[in-house]
Amino acid sequence: PYMPSVTEPIVPLRNIPDTFTMDIEAGHQVDKVEYLFKRIDEKMAEEFSKKFAGESRDDKKNNKKTSKTANNVIATEVLKAD
């Protein structure tokens, strides 16, 4: 996917004028290359997975069952109070 924030640091690395042209002279040198992204280690990947993974179908089914049970308990308590 296109990420505008990533193109900004790439532009100066090209070491070419900011005008559009199809010609780059032979022997043209680009500037020193830098990393654009940080490396994601296993711990960070696990944290991102927990944070952004959402729920699986099994989790949703379990939540629905828990919700129905909780609603039944509440309804029973209301009836007992009457």
In tens, the pLDDT along 22-40 reads 787 888 888 888 888 889 9
CA–CA distance, 48 with 40 (Å, rounded to integer):
10
CA–CA distance, 53 with 49 (Å, rounded to integer):
5
Provide the pLDDT for residue 58: 74
43 confidence band (pLDDT: 50, 70, 90): very high
Residue 52 predicted with pLDDT over 80:
yes
Evaluate whether 36 touches 10 at the Cβ level (below 8 Å).
Answer: yes
41 confidence band (pLDDT: 50, 70, 90): very high
Helices H / strands E in the chain, number of each = 3, 0
Using alpha carbons, select from 29, 38, 27, 31 the residue that is nearest to residue 11. Answer: 31
- Whole-prediction pTM value? 0.32
47 confidence band (pLDDT: 50, 70, 90): very high
